[in-house]
Amino acid sequence: MDLNDRTRVSDVMSTPLETIGADAPLREAAQRMDDAGISALVVTTGGGCIITQSDVVGAVAAGRDTTETVVRDVMTEDVETVTPDLMMEEVAAMMTMYGVKHLPVVDDDYVGMVSSTDVAAHLS
């Protein structure tokens, strides 16, 4: 990454933020991600949770019924977040350090999502 690059999260984050309730069926989460062409949703539990395509795939691989399983059963909790003014090189480092592909963007409240796809697109 160019050390003189001053691109911030706000320049590349996905908005509007797509959310889902913790009690929504897993199948609904999968359908909403597919319809929106995204790979994660922020879960509206008030506690830093997301559900990703990886969570859905893991649930299906484990034999869970996607109509009976709810988002709360498989969501990722205590997710790291970033602020809109953070530099993209810091986001790339955080994703590598924490081994994650999605970071919700928070500015008093959730405002967007930055993904490894956003980082890759920024690098190209």
Q: Is the peptide bond before 104 cis (omega within 30 degrees of 0)?
A: no
Rounded to an integer, the average pLDDT of 77-81 is: 92
Confidence band of 5 (pLDDT split at 50, 70, 90):
low
Q: How many domains does the chain have?
A: 1
- Span 28-74, pLDDT tens digits: 999 999 999 999 999 987 678 999 999 999 999 999 998 899 999 99
Question: Is 2 inside any structural domain?
Answer: no
Question: Is 4 inside any structural domain?
Answer: no
pTM score of the predicted model: 0.86
Structure tokens at 47: 């506690």
Is 13 within 8 Å of 86 (Cβ atoms)? Answer: no
Question: Is 3 inside any structural domain?
Answer: no
Rounded to an integer, the average pLDDT of 77-95 is: 92
Question: Is 84 inside any structural domain?
Answer: yes
Q: What is the domain extent for residue 14?
A: 9-123
The position carrying tokens 């959730």 is 110
Question: Is 42 inside any structural domain?
Answer: yes
Is 87 within 8 Å of 6 (Cβ atoms)? Answer: yes
CATH number at residue 80: 3.10.580.10
